[in-house]
Every structure is written in C-alpha cells, then in structure tokens.
C-alpha cells in the first residue's frame, strides 16, 4: 500500500486544506495532490468526496487557491480531492509547449515513447489515487467528479467509462470532443499514436455516441470563452447529449471566459449539484 506523506496543512472554514505526496507506482514518480477535509471529517465522520481534475498548465494547487470551493464544501460536508495534471520529476519526459508534456497529461494512458513510462494518468486517477485516498482518509466511498477544460474532458471520460464509481459528473468548459480540436489532436497523436480508433476511449462525444451511460451531468460553458470556437466543441456536446438518454443540464453562461473567475462564479452550483446525488 502506498504511504502518504502530509507536506502541509492549513485551517480553512473549520476544515483543513492539506497537501500530500506519495510514490506513485502507476506513474513511476513522486506525486503530490491536495485535499480539503471539511469540519465533519475532522470531527470523526466519514464524508463523501468530489474529485476535481484541473486543466492545462495547472498543478494540484490552482483549484484549491482560486476557486473558492472550501466554504461551500465545508457547509455541505464534502471532501475535495485534487490531483496534479501530469507526472512530475526530472526523469519525466517533457515538451517546451504548454499544451503537451508536464502540466498537460490529458488523463490518458500513453502508449507512445518516451511518454508511456510515466504518462499513465487515467490509471493513476481511477485506480491508484482513488484507492489511496479511500484507504487513508475519512471518506465514505461516495464519489462525484468534476473538472475544468482538459480536466473537464478527464471528468467526462472517467464518468462515462467508470459510471459505477461516480454519483454525478460536472464540468466547466470541457474539451468535449478532443479528437476534433487542435489541443486533442496534438495530445492524442503524441501520447497515443496515429491510430485514431484508439483515441475514442478518451473522447466524451465518441463515448456518448457509442452508447456509454452517463451519471447525472452538469456543464457550464462561458459564452465569452476565447477557446470556445476552436477547442471546446460545446455545441457538439449539446447535440450528442440531446440524442442520448442522459440526465443533463448544459448551460451557456453569457459573458464568462475560461478563467477561474468563471469557475468561482458557479462552483457553488456544482458542489450543491453533486451533494444532492452523493447524499441520496
């Protein structure tokens, strides 16, 4: 069993914002991740959790410091599990671009070299990390998932492929159809190779079209998002969800961009949405 080392803890809304590190066997490197434990967990209760996946260039600390999620998570008694976005370390392959390599793991299991040795982010999140937090932290096993941009893509594909694990799923400005946008084309060809049939398991629109069941879904997309037209395929996601039997709310929020100001504006809606399913 992986041994967790707590590297920091600060008081926050009568809970604790913590940071841990561990040797990640899936990724062959040391990883850090952040956790918010609400006051109920510190008082001895085992609580439900929301797994948050961040976007390009982020670490495990962007969401915890910018989204303002702890206040409502403390009120609702929700833990927040916030992993990093890629493997880390001097031995980990990298790229000079912001949208590939470290900080841009795209939540896939890479098959191409030199990426395959470390970039097994799908298995790290869905297997190793979730096993570790549920064995080491005061969680009750009930789990929902959310994320932003690249992390929204990760949240959607994990919820579609691991439906039995997640009570609900939400996303802010997700890369909904990565097989058909520049970010996804670059990442998938680099990590997975040129056989596009292998990409479909990491594409939310493709998974929905293939008939994968989806937990209850909430998506917010900013209408002033500068990545909306070229990268995010929100309208394609809308059309695909409409054709499937999905309990879903997809909201276009006029005037909002791609930033954490957007996330902070609607994170309470998302946590209350997840709480409603986690406590049923």
| Residue among 146, 149, 159 at smallest CA distance from 207 | 159
Q: Is 84 a catalytic residue?
A: no
d(CA 280, CA 96) in angstroms, rounded, equals 46
Q: Is 177 a catalytic residue?
A: no
Phi/psi at 10 (5° precision): -130, 145
Contact criterion met (CB below 8 Å) for 225 and 258: yes
Active-site choice (153, 225, 274, 275): 225
Active-site choice (34, 54, 144, 149): 149
Active-site choice (148, 258, 270, 274): 258
| Residue among 154, 183, 186 at smallest CA distance from 171 | 154
Q: Is 225 a catalytic residue?
A: yes
Q: Which residues are catalytic?
A: 149, 225, 258
């Amino acid at each position: 069993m992986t041994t967790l080392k707590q590297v920091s803890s600060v008081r926050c809304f009568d809970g604790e914002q913590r940071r841990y590190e561990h040797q990640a066997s899936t990724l062959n490197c040391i990883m850090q991740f952040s956790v918010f434990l609400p006051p109920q967990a510190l008082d001895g209760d085992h609580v439900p959790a929301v797994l948050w996946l961040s976007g390009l260039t982020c670490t495990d600390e962007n969401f915890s410091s910018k989204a303002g999620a702890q206040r409502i998570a403390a009120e609702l008694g929700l833990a927040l599990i916030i992993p990093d976005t890629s493997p880390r370390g001097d031995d980990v392959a990298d790229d000079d671009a912001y949208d590939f390599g470290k900080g841009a793991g795209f939540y896939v299991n890479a098959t191409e070299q030199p990426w395959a040795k470390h970039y097994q982010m799908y298995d790290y999140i869905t297997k190793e990390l979730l096993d570790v937090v549920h064995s080491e932290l005061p969680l009750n096993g009930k789990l929902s998932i959310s994320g932003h941009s690249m992390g929204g893509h990760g949240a959607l594909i994990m919820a579609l492929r691991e439906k039995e694990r997640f009570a609900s799923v939400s996303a802010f400005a997700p890369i909904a159809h990565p097989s058909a946008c520049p970010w996804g084309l670059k990442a998938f060809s680099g990590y997975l190779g040129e056989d596009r049939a292998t990409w479909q398991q990491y594409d939310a629109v493709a998974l929905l079209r293939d008939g994968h069941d989806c937990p209850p879904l909430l998506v917010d997309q900013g209408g002033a998002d500068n990545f909306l037209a070229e990268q995010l395929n929100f309208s394609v996601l809308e059309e695909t969800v409409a054709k499937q039997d999905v309990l879903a709310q997809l909201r276009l929020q006029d005037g909002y961009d791609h930033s954490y100001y957007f996330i902070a504006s609607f994170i309470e809606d998302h946590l209350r949405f997840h709480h409603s399913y986690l406590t049923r």
